[in-house]
Amino acid sequence: MASSCSGSGMGFEFLTKKPYTPPSWASHLHPLPSNVFSLAHLPTPIHRWNLPNLPPNTELWIKRDDLSGMQLSGNKVRKLEFLMADAVAQGADSVITIGGIQSNHCRATAVAAKYLNLDCFLILRTSNLLVNQDPGLTGNLLVERLAGAHVHLISKEEYSKIGSVTLTTILKEKLIKEGRRPYVIPVGGSNSLGTWGYVEAVREIEQQIQRGADNIKFDNIVVACGSGGTIAGLSLGSSLSTLKANVHAFSVCDDPDYFHNFAQGLLDGLNAGVNSRDIVHILNAKGLGYAMNTSEELNFVKDVAAATGVILDPVYSGKAAYAMLKDMVENPKKWEGRKVLFIHTGGLLGLYDKVDELASVVGNWQRMDVNESVPRQDGIGKMF
């Protein structure tokens, strides 16, 4: 098997561009990417995840793609390794992308662009009430704006009537008229080229299993689905490689039919010759709606963090893990005795947008009570 050419574990590879060699089991796909930029810290760890209330003999493991970087964390950086290499190869001087107001993908793109000396233009979707005012510095916005991204706000109403493709095209044409060379990255980095990010992640999982002592065989892979590129790459990679795990995706927006059709378009773009419905099972975990949470979901995020130290984000992995556990409780036979790998896709910065809702579920503070008899002396405690 060809060695993974992505990752920054060795020497001075971080932020360098290298020729890309696909895994042998993916070499029939075309077009093949020619280059890849090393932007992520890979491989990301896999470890046991002892969530409470698992069905009997169900082993749960977690792959920590939330640890793929700091400013550049989460699943989006894997796609950007391929997309940014293409932008540079095409001679772009700037990138344009689009998403929700707390888009992790937009934040990752803003940082990656500056690493590679490109300008970044973001179209961010917000409510009609907020579209005419400064969007503030909460969560992902802080990183984007510190990194000098040009933020263009659009209302949800306009976005739903015009669509992301037309909006990015309008901005692209405006920049071209100004003499710029923009490169457009779609929502979530989810196009056929971005899909390679998770084809490559499957090779990484394969290699981690081979290097591990117990040569574990995962029966199921579980992941959140928000734009479709991650599930297309994961499910294609799992079906082609030695993994052969069943991929279960929990959609946090739109609906399973939409994602099956969207993923099909990405697979067709790689000439994969497979039906998305045969390689990925998609369940709805949208709840109240994209980026909206019930108190049960937020309590679940808190309970998981308190029990295991793993902080899930409420928009993506939090909803997916919540829906997975719910399914395990409702259909334990389906999961009993199985080895399950959950992919944590990141999104920690988005939690900062939820602080007001989370305040009521955390508690656990008090003023420290120091008895009168404890000696006190001015200047003994140094507070430099």
Using alpha carbons, list the distances in angstroms from residue 105 to 78, 155, 282, 291: 11, 19, 21, 14
Which tokens hold the place of 306? Answer: 């308190």
HSE-CB of 145 using CA atoms within 13 angstroms? 14
Output the six-digit token pair for 11. 């020497």
Number of Cβ atoms within 10 Å of the Cβ of 95: 25
Q: Is 192 helix (H, G, I), strand (E, B) or coil?
A: helix
What's the pLDDT score for residue 2?
42
Q: Which of the residues are catalytic?
A: 103
- Separation CA 314–CA 124 (nearest Å): 19
In the predicted model, is pLDDT for residue 202 greater than 50?
Answer: yes
Report whether 231 contacts 225 (CB < 8 A). yes
Strand order, beta sheet including 280-284: 46-48, 59-64, 339-344, 220-225, 246-251, 280-284
What tokens does 353 get? 């947008």
Shortest CA distance to 344 belongs to which of 373, 311, 309?
A: 311
What SS3 class is residue 61? strand
The mean pLDDT of 71-96, rounded to a whole number, is 97
Distance in angstroms (rounded) separating the CA atoms of residues 254 and 164: 15
- Domains, the chain: 38-74+191-356 (3.40.50.1100), 76-188 (3.40.50.1100)
- The alpha helices in 11-163, defined as continuous H runs, are 76-89, 104-115, 140-146, 156-162
Query: In 3-state terms, what secondary structure has residue 324?
Result: helix
Q: How many CB atoms lie within 10 A of CB 93?
A: 14
Query: What is the tens place of the pLDDT at every residue in 107-134?
Result: 999 999 999 999 999 999 999 999 999 9
Q: Read off the tokens for 34.
A: 């020619």
Average pLDDT over every residue of 203-219? 93
pLDDT tens figures, 10-44: 689 999 999 999 999 999 999 999 999 999 999 99
Helices (H), 270-354: 276-279, 295-308, 317-330, 332-335
Q: Does the pLDDT of residue 4 top 50, yes or no?
A: no
Q: Which residues pair with 123 in a beta bridge?
A: 98, 152
